[in-house]
Amino acid sequence: DQQVKQNSPSLSVQEGRISILNCDYTNSMFDYFLWYKKYPAEGPTFLISISSIKDKNEDGRFTVFLNKSAKHLSLHIVPSQPGDSAVYFCAATSRRNTGKLIFGQGTTLQVKP
Amino acid sequence: DAGVIQSPRHEVTEMGQEVTLRCKLISGHNSLFWYRQTMMRGLELLIYFNNNVPIDDSGMPEDRFSAKMPNASFSTLKIQPSEPRDSAVYFCASSRDRANQPQHFGDGTRLSIL
């Protein structure tokens, strides 16, 4: 039973345009969500997070949106840059169980120059 | 600030051998997590510690796997005996023990069991 799903294995975007990565979850107990970026041969790097008390969190070019009723979150990257090309993982946890991050399968983003 | 440090970066060994993976936490962090990444199952949590105490080891696949924190800044993950299906990338991560603190990952150990 996959509690966190990233249904798009890959996404290709032109440099300067918006990248939108999507993530769905099934467990209504999740109340904290994170996005990680991963380059080949490196560990995942924390990018941005959002608590369930918010519906939007912004950090520079990165914005995460949370729709609790739809159990859906998305990461927007504007404008996209070639250096953003990486695998993006969505993760979720609950405050009761803050140690246990459940990860999606990842989406490979390619930003073309 | 030094990040999470894992060693070795690569390990190739024969089936049946003992394998020990090592992890040094970020200074000031007191939660430690071991993950395994495979093509089939993605990134999955094996075990995590808080203040050197194992909190949840439900992800540890079998008794062949064991993890320890001999002190507050260091952890080992041991596989004995190793099998080809253990081949994967193993990540260690650490965080501060406060609500909504992100985990910071090491660069992983790529393990190949022949």
Q: Report the alpha-carbon distance of residue A95 to residue A85 in Å, rounded.
A: 31
Q: Which of A57, A103, A107 would best serve as a mutation to test chain B binding (most B beta carbons within 10 A)?
A: A103
Residue A98 predicted with pLDDT over 70: no
Q: What is the pLDDT along chain B (114 residues), one digit of tens a residue?
A: 679 999 999 999 999 999 999 999 999 999 999 999 998 888 999 999 999 999 989 999 889 999 999 999 999 999 999 999 999 999 999 998 766 788 999 999 999 999
Determine the distance in angstroms separating the CA of B103 from the nearest CA of chain A, rounded to an integer: 7
B44 touches chain A (CB under 8 A): yes
| Tokens 């501060």 sit on residue | B96
- The radius of gyration of chain B from alpha carbons, rounded to an integer in Å, stands at 13
Write down the pLDDT at residue A28: 92
- The radius of gyration of chain A from alpha carbons, rounded to an integer in Å, stands at 13
B99 touches chain A (CB under 8 A): yes
Q: Report the alpha-carbon distance of residue A78 to residue A62 in Å, rounded.
A: 7
A101 touches chain B (CB under 8 A): yes
Over the stretch A53-97, which tens digit does the pLDDT of each residue have? 999 999 999 999 999 999 999 999 999 999 999 999 999 998 776
Write down the pLDDT at residue A95: 74
Q: Do B31 and A99 touch (CB under 8 A)?
A: yes
Q: Do B106 and A43 touch (CB under 8 A)?
A: yes
Determine the distance in angstroms separating the CA of A49 from the nearest CA of chain B, rounded to an integer: 8
Strand ranges in chain B using DSSP code E only, listed in sequence order: 5-7, 10-13, 19-24, 31-38, 42-50, 53-56, 65-71, 74-79, 88-95, 104-105, 109-113
Which residues in chain A have Cβ-Cβ distances shorter than 8 Å to B38?
none
Q: Chain A residue closest to B5 (CA)?
A: A43
Q: Chain A residue closest to B6 (CA)?
A: A43
